[in-house]
Amino acid sequence: MTRTQNKLIVIPEALAAFSFTREILSSRHGRLMHKILHADLRELEFVCSEVCVCYLLKGRERFFEAGGGWTEIQAGELIIIPPNVRLQSDFRCQDGPLEAMMIFLSPVLVSEVMARLRGGQEDAPAGLETIPASQNLAAFMSGLVAVYDSLQVDAGIARLKLVELIMLLALLHGRSRVANTLASSLSTRHRRSVAHVAKAFPDHDLRTADLAALSGRSVPTFNREFRRVFGVSPAKWRKQRRLEQAKKMLESTNDAVTSIGLEAGYESASNFISAFKKEFGLTPGQFRAAASAAEH
């Protein structure tokens, strides 16, 4: 049996590990990445730590939301994805390769541009926003690749191109609509609290660095605030949560101790038994026997 905990990646941080993505522009205000896929990439679950603007140069891609809805974009179309929204991407190469530009906008940059747009309601619900294809958008996006792909670009130019993109979207899609979309993405900041981030992703193998990125904090700051809120380190808290879940499974199922240990993240049954006993004072078998006896 393998673990059923979902593999969730945090982007843009996790994209560095994939060979099909390459960074073109980067600064503290955001980054622009070029993605090319020639093989299926099915059911990739991800969450953005910053606003993501995804533009398709070739192919088509579907994005499935946790609530069951889905959005498909095709070549020439663009989608704006707010941070901290869990999605699943699905690409099939039967229609040809997928080529996309992925632009990530920092909260600082979004706030600065919001002042220029002079609008936007932060209390609006954050959701996916699609922008239809246009010759202007196609020329801008393809030009970014053609001009900057092989150049070493400084942070100032990177910031200018990111701002130019947002202002272009405002011209093409409507200033108020783009302002509302960006403002709603800022409304997710309440979901970037340490407590919310920790509790929102309990069943995923996220590193402390991933959780820190989702909360918009550095790792040291996240660890410090986490200890203040929960009284333990992130690693200790996750371990306790998984052992508590294992405890519930021992009470409510007939699954083997080894299988429950795997569910809790322990590849070794002996390590699981040792950790469980250290936490609860009984081995899993002893706890299950005691729980069964108490029911009768």
Query: Quick one: pLDDT at residue 86?
Result: 86
CATH topology of domain 234-295: Arc Repressor Mutant, subunit A (1.10.10)
Q: Give the tokens for residue 288.
A: 């299950």
Query: Quick one: pLDDT at residue 122?
Result: 58
Query: Quick one: pLDDT at residue 115?
Result: 84
Report the top-level CATH class of 8-190. mainly beta
What's the chain look like in SS3? CCCCCECEEEECHHHHHCCCEEEEEEECCEEEEEEEECCCEEEEEEEECCEEEEEEEECEEEEEECCCCEEEEECCCEEEECCCCCEEEEECHHHCCEEEEEEEECHHHHHHHHHHHCCCCCCCCCCCEEECCCHHHHHHHHHHHHHHCCCCCCHHHHHHHHHHHHHHHHHHHCHHHHHHHHHHHHHHHHHHCHHHHHHHCCCECCCHHHHHHHHCCCHHHHHHHHHHHHCCCHHHHHHHHHHHHHHHHHHHCCCCHHHHHHHCCCCCHHHHHHHHHHHHCCCHHHHHHHHHHHHC
Which pTM value belongs to this model? 0.77
How far is Cα 9 from Cα 86, in angstroms, rounded to an integer?
A: 10
Task: Give per-residue burial for 9-48: e unless 16+ CB within 10 Å, then b.
Answer: bbbbbbbeeeebbeebbebebbbbbbbebeeebeeeebbb
> pLDDT by residue for the chain (296 residues), tens digit each?
333 445 789 999 899 888 899 999 889 999 999 999 988 888 788 989 899 999 999 999 999 987 788 999 999 999 999 888 889 988 888 878 999 999 999 988 998 898 888 765 655 556 789 999 999 999 999 999 889 888 888 888 999 999 999 999 999 998 888 888 888 777 655 457 888 788 877 666 788 888 888 888 889 999 999 999 999 998 899 889 889 999 999 999 999 999 999 888 888 899 999 999 999 999 999 999 988 887 76
Query: Quick one: pLDDT at residue 126?
Result: 63
Query: Quick one: pLDDT at residue 54?
Result: 96
**Residues belonging to the chain:** 296
- HSE-CB at 195 with a 13 A cutoff on CA atoms is 5
Helices 234-252, 219-230: crossing angle, 10 deg rounding:
50
Query: Quick one: pLDDT at residue 75?
Result: 95
Q: Is 222 left (phi over 0), alpha (psi -120 to 50) or beta?
A: alpha
Query: Quick one: pLDDT at residue 138?
Result: 95
